[in-house]
Chains A and B, each alone.
Chain A
Amino acid sequence: MLSRLKSKSEVPAPSATVWHPNFRNYQKLPDIKVVRTAFFINGAAILVVVSLLILLGFNEWQLHAVNAQTTAIQSQIDRDTKLSDQSVVLFKSFQAEESKVNEVDTFVKSKAAVSTIILRLGETLPKNVALDLLDFRENGLVMRLSVRGTPDVASGYATTYLEQLRSDSQLKLFEEFTFTGTPSPNPATNRMAVEFFLRLKGAPAVKK
């Protein structure tokens, strides 16, 4: 059986010691195998062609699907372009108008209202303390005070007042509350002259 499946070229030529001349042309003899070699070759060739056809067809189908999607999206783009362009123009106008409002808002909120701070200081001023000077600077507030009482008592009042200022929730825009110098008696008023410095939050350095 195996010998029958072998191609003609593989069949060994008869030995030289034959009793008559061998006139057979093996190339021209028919393939007498049960399943001819040509069947396998043709089958394989057809299989290859069919595979390639399927691959090409699949690629073309994919391409068609992608192109169909692109066409659908393009029609959506064509439909939305006009409205979108109008929206963009409208938004640019909005941005221009908004920038003006933001500029005003930034300007107004950039500094604390001085009148509000003065009113708060006036409301919370202890009875033994008088304000001589309020100096609002870039980095904070200098408060010059006259404190009633003997030097030892007046110094206590001043310290208590500073603590009171520090704990005041409405003065949270200041982050540092300090004496700028040693309290000293003022002979002109017979009161203790005291000076505080309230440094604003984020202010770079204390300038006394």
Chain B
Amino acid sequence: MMTNADQFAFVKKNPISVGCGVVALALIAGIYLRSDAIPEAEGILVQKTAQAERYALNIKYSAQLKEQLEALAGANKEIDGRIVRASQLGTNTQYFYKLQSDSGVKLLDFRQGTAGVVAKGKSTFVPIPFSVSVQGTLPQVMKFLRELESGNHYCRILTASCAGSAVARSQPLTLSLNLEMLGLP
């Protein structure tokens, strides 16, 4: 067992090795304590790099976004003008009577169905169902159909039945349609 005096004498006798030992211990402690710093800093660097890249890409890809958005907004303005409003029954009926007068067919039946509910967040528009029956010659019926399909409003025909008399070919044709128009409630 070394006394304090012995220890002091030992230090005095071996100052370099003892000093080096103390410094080495301090360095080991320092290395140990700082061992987490590099992985932590690297993790932050990776995170920041990803963020910077994301920002840079956002800026890069939005180079012409403003112009594209303006073009799209213009297109949507036009779309809004072609959308049917389910609540405006009078205007909708007027549209079909206008088609009747333009094409020359006779409107036998016209009914507007109940529009569905707009799914929140999923869609903006809702299909509004209509049932229409008209009578006329083939050119009249075709004109009515073409004006309906490529007319002012967006329309899709779900079912259609076009029949004439097999016995009397000169008789007018009857066209019955179940269709949907894109609209708002």
1/0 per residue, CB under 8 A from A, across B2-26: the answer is 0000000000001011001101100
Task: Give residues 152-185 of B contacting A (CB, 8 Å).
Answer: 154, 156-164, 166-167, 169, 180, 182
- Closest Cβ of chain B: how far from A97's Cβ, in Å? 4
| B21 adjacent to A70 (CB under 8 Å) | no
| A94 adjacent to B38 (CB under 8 Å) | no
Other-chain residue from B34, B146, B169 in contact with A115 (beta carbon distance below 8 A): B146
CA of A135 to CA of B175 in the docked complex: distance in angstroms?
10
B residues less than 8 Å from A152 (CB atoms):
none
CA of A161 to CA of B166 in the docked complex: distance in angstroms?
19
Other-chain residue from B30, B125, B160 in contact with A114 (beta carbon distance below 8 A): B160
CA of A45 to CA of B22 in the docked complex: distance in angstroms?
10
| A118 adjacent to B45 (CB under 8 Å) | no
Shortest Cβ distance from A71 into B: residue: B48
- Closest Cβ of chain B: how far from A53's Cβ, in Å? 6
| B167 adjacent to A67 (CB under 8 Å) | no
Contacts A76-B52, A104-B79, A136-B159 hold; do A45 and B42 have CB atoms under 8 A apart? no
Other-chain residue from A38, A63, A101, A108 in contact with B75 (beta carbon distance below 8 A): A101
Shortest Cβ distance from B14 into A: residue: A38
| B51 adjacent to A77 (CB under 8 Å) | yes
Number of A-B contacts (CB under 8 A): 185
Task: Give residues 28-46 of A contacting B (CB, 8 Å).
Answer: 38, 41-42, 45-46
Shortest Cβ distance from A110 into B: residue: B156
- Closest Cβ of chain A: how far from B156's Cβ, in Å? 4
Task: Give residues 77-102 of A contacting B (CB, 8 Å).
Answer: 77, 80-81, 83-84, 86-88, 90-91, 93-94, 97-101
1/0 per residue, CB under 8 A from A, across B37-68: the answer is 11001101100110110111011011001101
Other-chain residue from B158, B160, B167 in contact with A189 (beta carbon distance below 8 A): B167
CA of A108 to CA of B179 in the docked complex: distance in angstroms?
12
Contacts A49-B27, A77-B48 hold; do A133 and B79 have CB atoms under 8 A apart? no
How many residues of B sit at the interface, in one of the four size bands?
35 or more
- Closest Cβ of chain A: how far from B122's Cβ, in Å? 9
Shortest Cβ distance from B82 into A: residue: A104
| A88 adjacent to B58 (CB under 8 Å) | yes
Is residue B108 contacting chain A, with contact meaning CB distance below 8 A? no
Interface of A is mostly: helix
How many residues of A sit at the interface, in one of the four size bands?
35 or more
Is residue B127 contacting chain A, with contact meaning CB distance below 8 A? yes
- Closest Cβ of chain A: how far from B62's Cβ, in Å? 4
| B72 adjacent to A132 (CB under 8 Å) | no
| B166 adjacent to A186 (CB under 8 Å) | yes
B residues less than 8 Å from A42 (CB atoms):
14, 16-17, 20
CA of A193 to CA of B69 in the docked complex: distance in angstroms?
57
Contacts A63-B38, A66-B41, A101-B72 hold; do A138 and B162 have CB atoms under 8 A apart? no
- By a beta-carbon cutoff of 8 Å, the part of chain B in contact with chain A is 14, 16-17, 20-21, 23-24, 27-28, 30-31, 34-35, 37-38, 41-42, 44-45, 48-49, 51-52, 54-56, 58-59, 61-62, 65-66, 68-69, 72-73, 75-76, 79, 123-125, 127, 138, 142, 145-146, 149-150, 154, 156-164, 166-167, 169, 180, 182
Shortest 4 CB-CB contacts between residues of A and residues of B? A45-B20, A87-B62, A52-B27, A84-B55
Q: Known A-B contacts: A48-B24, A76-B52. Give 18 more (CB < 8 A).
A: A45-B16, A52-B28, A56-B30, A59-B38, A63-B38, A66-B38, A66-B41, A97-B73, A100-B125, A113-B149, A115-B145, A122-B138, A132-B164, A132-B166, A135-B159, A135-B160, A144-B163, A186-B166
